[in-house]
Structure 1
Amino acid sequence: MQLLEIDKKRYRKHLNIVIGLCIVALVVGSLGIAQILIAIYPSAEGTHFHWNLFGVIVTVIAIGVVLKQYKAHPFMTEVVYVWELKKVLNVITRKMQKIQSEAEQGNVQALLALQFSYSGSRQLWTLDDNTILMDELAVEQAKLNALLEKFSLQLDLTKFDKIDLQDF
C-alpha cells in the first residue's frame, strides 16, 4: 500500500454521506424486515426480540454486500483508501513490539514499517482532526530518524509492501 494525498474536505464529505446512508439503511431495513416478520409470525407473548435481531443481522449483511460492491466506485476512493490504511496500521500496531525490536537491530523492512506507520498515522490523524497524539508521534519519529542515522540509511516509502509484515 502506498500513501496517497487525500483531499480532506472531499474525504470528510464522502465519509459522512456513506455513514449517513448506512445508518438510514440500517434503521429502515432492520425495522422493515422485523415488522414484516412480526406481521407474518405474531407472538402471543408480545416479545419480538428475535425478529428485531434477525432484521438487524440481515440488514448489516446487505449493507456489507453493497459496500463491497461499490468499493471501486470513484465516490468511494478516499473512504476505501482510509479503511485500507487503517487495516495496515492495525497490523503494524499488533506487531509493533517485534517490529521495534528488529528496527533497533537495523532491519530495513522493520524501519520501513515504522516509517510507514508514523507517516500513515500522521495522515490519518490529520484527516480525522485527531491531533492529540501528534507530539508523541514526533518523539517516535525522532527516535526512528536517530536509528536511520545510526545505520546510515534512507528509506523510500514507495518500497513498503504490507506483505513484508508477515515476516514479523
Structure 2
Amino acid sequence: MQLIKIDKARYRRHLNRVIVGSIAALAIGSLAIAQILIALFPDASGSHFHWNLLGVVVTTLTIGWLLNKYRTHAYMTEVVYVWDLKQALNKITRKMPKLKAAAQAGNADALLALQYSYAGSRLLWHLDDNSIVMEELSVAQLELDSLITKYNLTLNTDDYNDLILNQF
C-alpha cells in the first residue's frame, strides 16, 4: 500500500458524515427493530432485553454490510484509504520489537518497514490533528535516519510491501 496525499478537509468531512450516519442508523434501526419485535412478541414479564439486543445486533451487521458494500464508492475513497492504512500500520506495530532489533542489525526490510510506519503515522497524525506524539516520532525518525546512513541505504516507502513482515 502506497502512501498518498489526502485532502484533509475532504477526509474529515466525509469521515464525520460516515460516523454520524452510522450512529444515527444504529440508534434508529436498533430502536425500530426492537419496537417491532416487542409489538409482535410481547413479554408478560416486561423484560425486552433480548429484543433490544437483537435490534442492535441486526442493525450493526447491516451497517457493517453497507459500509463494506460501498467501500469502493468515490465518496468513501479517503475514509477507506485511512482505514486500510491504519490496518497496515497495526501489522507493523505488532512486529515492532523484532523490526527494531533487525534494523539495529542492518536488515534493509526492517528499516523499510520502520520508514513506512513512521511516514504513515505522520500522515495519519496530520489528518487527525494529533500532535501529541509528533516529537517522539521525530526522535524515532532521527534514529532511523542514522541507521539508514550507517548502513548506506536508500529507502523509498513506495517499495514497501507487507509481505516483508512475514520474516519477522
Q: Same fold (TM over 0.5)?
A: yes
Question: In structure 2, how many angstroms separate the alpha carbons of the residues matched to 1:96 and 1:72?
Answer: 31
Specify every segment of 5 or more residues in structure 2 that has no aligned partner in the other structure, as ranges.
none
1:109 aligns with 2:104: no
Q: Match for residue 50 of structure 1? A: 50
Task: For 1:126-145, list aligned pairs within 5 A.
Answer: 126-145=126-145
Q: Cα offset for 1:138?
A: 0.3
Question: In structure 1, how many angstroms separate the alpha carbons of the residues matched to 2:60 and 2:166?
Answer: 31
Q: Match for residue 67 of structure 1? A: 67
Amino acid at match of 1:151: Y
Q: Residue 78 of structure 1 aligns to a residue in which SS?
A: helix
Aligned pair count reads 168
Q: Residue 101 of structure 2 aligns to a residue in which SS?
A: helix
Q: Can you list the C-alpha shifts for 1:45-100, whole angstroms capped at 9, x where unaligned?
A: 11111111111011110001100000000100000000001001111111100011
Q: Residue 109 of structure 1 aligns to a residue in which SS?
A: helix
Q: Can you list the C-alpha shifts for 1:9-47, whole angstroms capped at 9, x where unaligned?
A: 000000001001101110111001100110111111111
Q: Match for residue 15 of structure 1? A: 15
Q: Residue 132 of structure 1 aligns to a residue in which SS?
A: coil
State the identity as a percent.
Answer: 57
1:163 aligns with 2:130: no
Q: Residue 42 of structure 1 aligns to a residue in which SS?
A: coil
Q: Can you list the C-alpha shifts for 1:82-123, whole angstroms capped at 9, x where unaligned?
A: 000100111111110001111111111110000000000001
Question: In structure 1, how many angstroms separate the alpha carbons of the residues matched to 2:73 and 2:167?
Answer: 33
TM-score (norm 2): 0.98
